[in-house]
Amino acid sequence: MQCQMRSDVAMDDGRGEWDEIREFLQQTGRRRELDSLNAGLRKARLDGDFQEELRLLALIQARRQG
């Protein structure tokens, strides 16, 4: 049902359905990448690996900024 609604929105604003799908997949990929980086950050903190923690924090900040 949600997919149908998103498709309708894509048609209403003049964008094609594939553009909407492509945008959704890109956003999902970014979220998964950030989730993976955050998991690595938690592990680095637990292990006491401060250099890895700083490296991951820098990557996370860069990804969030675009």
Distance CA 6, CA 48 (A): 44
| Predicted model pTM | 0.56
Give the model's confidence band at 9: pLDDT under 50 very low, under 70 low, under 90 confident, else very high. Answer: low
pLDDT at 57 over 60: yes
Higher-pLDDT residue of 48 and 34 is: 48
Mean pLDDT, the chain, whole residue set: 78
Report how far apart, in Å, the C-alpha atoms of 31 and of each of 7, 20, 38, 51, 63 are: 21, 17, 10, 24, 10
